Amino acid sequence: MTRKLWISMLAAAAVGTAGAAWAALPGNIAAALADKGRADDVKRDAARKPGELLAWAGLKSGDKVADLIMGGGYFTRILSLAVGPAGVVYAYQPDEFVRFQASYGEDQKKVAAAYPNVKAVTGSLGTLDLPDGLDMVLTVQNYHDLHLTPFPKDTAAKVNAEVFKSLKPGGVYLIVDHVAAPGSGLEAAMKVHRIEPSIVKQEVEAAGFRLEAESPLLKDAADPHTAGVFDASIRGKTDQFVMKFRKPK
């Protein structure tokens, strides 16, 4: 796809009532949200606030980004158009997840085939190998998975070390996840697919990162923090923390 065609697609996507609703967002992010390839994702935007999240994180056109544990590709699709043809999105899907649910592998292939600047990355979580020189790595609703009991206990430490190595000095590590009740410890990762924010801060800072800011964007005081995130009573309405870490220059 040529740069001229890509720019035309972005401009066309931002037109209309949806474009007006996203007028406060940077143009690259607003246009990415209007991508017609996201037709099945739009219904989740109100709860996940991807535009506000990525604008707050400082995502720019031309950035090289890794979507760490991409899942179905919700953020991968947005990132692709937001960074544009001069940028790259490395969409990482762990081998362990694909073995557990084959559709994750198919989702990765479909997204990589549909978006020319998306590069599929595979491999085990324990041997994660990301390209160097990245501007941003984000993992959304998946950090707790690094503490699932099937994985070795040092998985989170290894992943954080690789993310630190892969980022440019000054690069951003953006983490969003479901809040666990205080004192619940690492057992919450397996039991309810949540994690305490204090654990994440400690682990990521131990890898060399500096916590730059936290956002209340996805807070929800009504969440009791006890139900599993897939429980019908709370699904899509969990209290989530948003942390922006930075690799020191």
What residues does 65 pair with on adjacent strands? 89, 136
pLDDT of residue 14 exceeding 70:
no
Q: What is the mean pLDDT of the chain?
A: 92
Alpha-carbon distance of 3 to 206, in angstroms, equals: 41
What whole-number distance in Å separates Cα of residue 34 and Cα of residue 56? 19
- Structure token digits, residue 206: 């131990």
- Domains in the chain and their CATH numbers? 42-246 (3.40.50.150)
Residue 97 · residue 128 · CB < 8 Å: no
From CA 119, how far away is CA 224, in angstroms rounded?
Answer: 38
Q: How many CA atoms lie within 13 A of 104 on its CB side?
A: 16
CA gap 120, 101 in Å, rounded? 17
Query: Which of the two residues, 15 and 34, has the higher pLDDT score?
Result: 34
Confidence of residue 23 (pLDDT cuts 50, 70, 90): low
For the segment 160-216, what is each residue's pLDDT rounded down to a tens digit? 999 999 999 999 999 999 999 999 999 999 999 999 999 999 999 999 999 999 999
Amino acid at position 247, single letter: K
> How many percent of the chain have pLDDT more than 70?
91
Q: What is the pLDDT of residue 100?
A: 87
Whole-prediction pTM: 0.91
Alpha helices, DSSP H, located in the chain: 3-13, 17-21, 27-33, 45-48, 50-57, 74-83, 95-100, 103-114, 155-166, 187-191, 197-206
